Amino acid sequence: MKHSDFLVIGAGVIGSAVACGLLRKSRSVTLLDEGGDALRASLGNFGLVWVQGKGQGARRYAEWCHEASEVFPEYAQKLQDETGVDLAYRKPGGLTLCHGEEEYQKRTQVLARLKNESRHGAYDCSMLRRQEIQQMLPTLTLGPGIAGGSYSPHDGYLNPLALLKALHTSFTLGEGAFCSGIAATNIYHEHGRFLVTTSKGKFSAEKIVLAAGHGVARLAAMVGMQVEVHPEQGQLMVTERTRPVLSMPISGIQQTAEGSFIVGLSKREIGFNTDTDTRLLKQMAQRVVNAFPALASLRIVRSWSALRILSADGLPIYQQSESCPGAYVVTSHSGITLAPLHQTLIADWIVDGVQPEEFESFGTRRFDVEKTA
């Protein structure tokens, strides 16, 4: 049996960031991942470090994303220096384009609400008309249907596979025990310790972190927690490479450092289904061409889908078990954006019990309140 102070189940971007954070405080951290065919959002996402538009009706979440974006440049630089992995992180600000006046008016209302909900009206994102956006994107002509859009200086993007690789490298360099290809099957809480049976032997730990993405609900139930997450499918496609023409990420459209365009504009609730739908891909491609007619000639070279991991209200769940103290659930959408906070504030909470401000917004009790209401 392998014993450690901390055992993290799930080596996606969330479990890996938390595990790296725990290593700052303890040399004894094990990170388990089943690998193989498991559904892994960290391998199929869009790679935005994104603030604008997030957190309507949930001020703390809007702030949480903003705080992550503020520390991201230093975080990315440190991780890159330590591991030698180029994250291709850039923070030029980001745009959301509005196709037609109706979308423009709706977006204006969304931002006005976010501004109203923010502390001291400090929400920093502005609506721009078509010409102003065109000036920001001088090398790519906007289609005639673009009425304008929103711009936030806090947004950026990176290569999400590189981020995951860097986290795994950092964890291993820090002498964490990375056990891949091992599925946790059962968890027992005995004499204040956790015993985990797996596909390859037993593990024990003083504290256990469940960051298993879509596998989290099953494991959480074993330590007395009711956690519900559901899948939302997103489809992505990537084009052949071309010269650099798009200098900032747009919600759903970006050009990578290598020159490919990645398009990710869909949301479907169709259960645990990762099939791609060509009709939907066509609609997505059409929307891109409507925004930038010059991209019509680019060939699509690959498409895939991945499943977002969403709680009932779309916000993170950070919760310690009440019946089995020492067991924690950490799951969230926006796991790329929030990586620096998972590595620092969430790891510190697990080690020292110090809770970030207004932490109850992210606990499971909020669902009890909703049910009672």
Ligand X SMILES: Cc1cc2nc3c(=O)[nH]c(=O)nc-3n(C[C@H](O)[C@H](O)[C@H](O)COP(=O)(O)OP(=O)(O)OC[C@H]3O[C@@H](n4cnc5c(N)ncnc54)[C@H](O)[C@@H]3O)c2cc1C
Residue 170 touching ligand X (CB under 6 A):
no
Contact present, 165 and 79 (Cβ < 8 Å): no
Query: Of the listed pieces 140-148, 168-176, 305-313, 349-357, which binds ligand X according to CB under 6 A?
Result: 305-313
Residues with Cβ within 8 Å of 30's Cβ and at least 6 positions away in sequence, in order, are 2, 4, 6, 7, 8, 176, 177, 179, 203, 205
Instruction: Using the minimum distance from each CB to ligand X, give the nearer residue, 143 or 335.
Output: 335
State the nearest-atom distance from the C-beta of 363 to ligand X, in Å. 17
Rounded to the nearest 10°, the torsion over CA 331, 334, 340, 342 is -10
Residue 311 touching ligand X (CB under 6 A):
no
Residue 215 touching ligand X (CB under 6 A):
yes
Residue 161 touching ligand X (CB under 6 A):
no
Residue 35 touching ligand X (CB under 6 A):
yes
Residue 22 touching ligand X (CB under 6 A):
no
State the nearest-atom distance from the C-beta of 36 to ligand X, in Å. 7
- Three-state SS sequence of 180-231: ECCCEEEEEEECCEEEEEECCEEEEEEEEEECCHHHHHHHHHCCCCCCCCEE
Query: Of the listed pieces 18-26, 56-64, 82-90, 208-216, which binds ligand X according to CB under 6 A?
Result: 208-216
Residue 346 touching ligand X (CB under 6 A):
no
Residue 143 touching ligand X (CB under 6 A):
no
The dihedral region occupied by 93, where left means phi > 0, alpha psi between -120 and 50, and beta the remainder, is left
Instruction: Using the minimum distance from each CB to ligand X, give the nearer residue, 35 or 224.
Output: 35
Instruction: Using the minimum distance from each CB to ligand X, give the nearer residue, 31 or 147.
Output: 31
Q: What's the number of CA atoms in the CB half-sphere (13 Å) around residue 252?
A: 18
H/E element, 303: strand 300-310
Q: Footprint of ligand X on this chain (CB under 6 A)?
A: 9-15, 32-35, 38-42, 44-48, 50, 183-184, 211-213, 215, 234, 264, 306-309, 331-337
